[in-house]
Structure 1
Amino acid sequence: MHELALCQSIVRTIEEAAHTHHVVHVRRVRLEVGPFAGVELQALRFAFDLATRGTRAEGASLDIIERPGTMWCCDCSMYCTLAQRYDPCPICGGHRLRLAGGETLRIKDLEVD
């Protein structure tokens, strides 16, 4: 389950930011996740609870903001939004698509005390 390793990295980033800004407790973490990030969202939520134990983010709520996946279609020269990586272009039905966005997972913001 690589989601636990991802959450441990997220918690390290949160702890560093909390230390830098003299934050006592993190109440909420908002993550942006694209559909091509290779993350199982339920597993991420479970792993987040484990990874935050004993940290300033223990008990924090995790809000996941799902971002669209964006592709560039080489057939019709248009950007399109896809839910699945190997879906055809919704504009022309072509399959020659290049990834243009949606593979990221990033901390959007924190709500702190």
Structure 2
Amino acid sequence: MSEHPQREGWPSWVYRGGAAPDQRFSLANERTFLAWVRTSLALLAGGVALDAVDLDGPRGLQTALAVVLVVLGLLGAAASWLRWAGAERAMRQGRPLPGTAALAWFSLALVVVAALLVVLVL
């Protein structure tokens, strides 16, 4: 049986250097990435839905909130990939996992959007 050479993964800056971590940790990192992606998709869908319905209240506020939800979805998708890459690289290099300040900003933005939606609906 011949050995196949190990190809370097993409993106190379993540996989360059260090040793491959336990597969369970990489798979857990991927599951976290996918959870962020699902959340981002839900925010995108929420923004589209909010724009499609007519609520009592200022239409401009409703449109602004819809745009904010879509933008949060886009930012969440980008943050999920950056978080995945940072965690994978840290695991490969035996360093502590990076923090996720994006979670705090994400949560704060959602609290503000939810409060404004309550004002819009009432």
Specify the TM-score bucket, using the shorter chain as the normaliser.
0.3 to 0.5
Which is helix-richer, 1 or 2?
2
TM-score by length of 1: 0.32
TM-score by length of 2: 0.30
